[in-house]
Amino acid sequence: MVLQVLPCKEADIHDFQRIQVAAFSSGGMTTLLKPSPRPADYAEKSVNKHLKSFREEQDVHYLKVIDTELGGKMIAGAKWRINEKPRSEEQVRKTLPKPGKDEEERPAAQDFIKYLARVRWEYMGVNPFYYPEHHRRGAGAMLIRWGTEKADAAQLPTFLEATAVALPLYQKESFVVRHEEIFDLTKYGLQGTDTSTVMIREPILQAM
């Protein structure tokens, strides 16, 4: 198995969306972000949203990890948002997630999206994700290091929200817990609780 990190092309976005859905299907709040049952046009709408971001947002970088021993098959993906200069409040607000028509009558999705907007406004940063089937094969770490190496070069902090599954990976990559948001899943018809963890990695000083 030989893995490579490459920039996504527009033709990769369908696979990127498929991997995103799989990555956020491991239970807890992320499972509730998708409507159930899923509408027939769900995948198409999601792909179109990514395509709009891919084409129009200059600070967004879509990445893929391919397995060269599987004919270049895409096995993981990440969406990095890199801002090396201060932005206006209006610019930042435009990037924050907001509940829309698709979240109507879905309180779990509304609550989670509002949480994301709140902590991103407070901390700002990046929201990587990866395919759970491959998270023990090095793909997740490769996608994280792509961005943290650039952050080190620019001497900027990196921000993300971590699921419980991904938390150990981010801790190994020098991310530090800044806030834990605990969700009561019984409010949404599930059992137990789920935690989303805000983490920040400060840049490593570069040798002169």
46-60, 117-131, 174-188, 191-205: the lowest-pLDDT one: 117-131
Q: Averaged over 181-185, what is the pLDDT?
A: 97
pLDDT on residue 125 = 44
125-131-133-136 Cα dihedral, nearest 10 degrees:
-30
Instruction: Give the tens place of pLDDT for each residue, 4-23.
Output: 999 999 999 999 999 988 87
Average pLDDT rounded to a whole number, residues 56-64? 91
Q: What is the pLDDT of residue 135?
A: 56
110-123: average pLDDT? 91
Q: What is residue 1's predicted lDDT score, i.e. its pLDDT?
A: 67
All structural domains of the chain: 3-201 (3.40.630.30)
H-only helix segments in the chain: 13-23, 42-56, 89-95, 107-123, 139-154, 167-172
Between CA 112 and CA 99 the distance in angstroms is 9
61-116 per-position pLDDT tens digit: 999 999 999 999 999 999 998 888 887 888 888 888 899 888 888 999 999 999 99
